[in-house]
Amino acid sequence: KSGVLEFAKELSSLGVHILSTGGTAKLLQDAGVPVTEVSDYTGFPEMLDGRVKTLHPKVHGGILGRRDLPEHVATMAEHGIGNIDLVCVNLYPFEATIANPDCSLEDAIENIDIGGPTMVRSAAKNWAHVAIVTDSADYPALAAEMKANDGRLAKATRFELAKKAFTHTAAYDGAISNYLTSLADGVVAGKPERVAFPNRLNAQFIKVQDMRYGENPHQAAAFYRDLDPAAGSIAHYKQLQGKELSYNNIADADAAWEAVKTFEQTACVIVK
């Protein structure tokens, strides 16, 4: 919930009506931010130990309904479904949960978010009308843009948020798949054994920069890093001077790093 209170205060100051579920709703209420609990809006309580909170037509209809189609507008009005123009979601911490070597299968399963990714995908699909926020680091910039534009976000901003959202849910589902396929026997109670090399492996990468060229001058190339590169790896390096790097420069620098880190004493590696 990092930054959510400050963001909610900014939204409230712009006249935004806020819907929220249990824990977050209480946080906002305690801070004096006007908020309506989703269960009050839908008429259905949170149930099944919190597994069902937002999976309701009044929520997803308000997110997915197209404002430019009269039949959608009429259907929403008929069923008392209001527009939900901005969706802000923080998913259950699945990766942090399974990072604990003592994590049980039951703990892992209970930290698989269902309602959150569903709302994220709904909002991202309808990006032409709805903004989806999945990264708390975006809160200040979005609040500033809304302040400067009468409470609205530009279409280009919404599209960038949608791309980021689908990338986010893809990584989330990839982590779940990686964990489950790594289990030697997932039906065993307690802590199932994890295999080192599962049959399937999902990965995502972020582009660091375009290369001057690939292994040869006629080849195009770009340098990508994974989402959480190892400390000290070349993904963290900053070029201080010189022309744009090529694939060979990156490969040589990585080879130098891999060689020098094998020494326990101070050492220097030169690669030509």
- The per-residue pLDDT for 42 is 85
Statement: residue 237 has pLDDT above 90: no
Q: How far is CA 130 from CA 35, 60, 124, 171, 205, in A?
A: 19, 12, 7, 22, 27
Q: What pLDDT digit, counting tens, does each position of 32-58 carry?
A: 888 888 888 888 777 787 777 788 888
- The per-residue pLDDT for 186 is 64
Confidence of residue 239 (pLDDT cuts 50, 70, 90): confident
* Residue-averaged pLDDT of the chain: 89
- The per-residue pLDDT for 41 is 87
Percent of the chain residues past pLDDT 70, beyond the cut: 98
- CA–CA separation, 196 and 41 (whole Å): 47
Domains along the sequence of the chain with CATH: 4-181 (3.40.50.1380), 205-260 (no CATH)
Confidence of residue 176 (pLDDT cuts 50, 70, 90): very high
Nearest 5°: CA angle at 91, between 89 and 93? 150
| Residue range 190-201: mean pLDDT, rounded | 82
What tokens does 228 get?
Answer: 């959480």
Q: What pLDDT digit, counting tens, does each position of 245-263 carry?
A: 999 999 999 999 999 989 9
- CA–CA separation, 138 and 144 (whole Å): 10
Statement: residue 165 has pLDDT above 90: yes
CA proximity to 33, closest of 15, 56, 50, 51: 15
- CA–CA separation, 117 and 11 (whole Å): 22
CB distance 269 to 256 below 8 Å: yes
CA proximity to 229, closest of 266, 192, 204, 265: 204
- CA–CA separation, 214 and 222 (whole Å): 8
Statement: residue 188 has pLDDT above 70: no
- CA–CA separation, 171 and 168 (whole Å): 5
Statement: residue 66 has pLDDT above 80: yes
Neighbouring residues of 18: CB distance < 8 A, sequence distance ≥ 6: 8, 11, 12, 28, 33, 34, 35, 36
| Residue range 166-178: mean pLDDT, rounded | 93
Confidence of residue 187 (pLDDT cuts 50, 70, 90): low
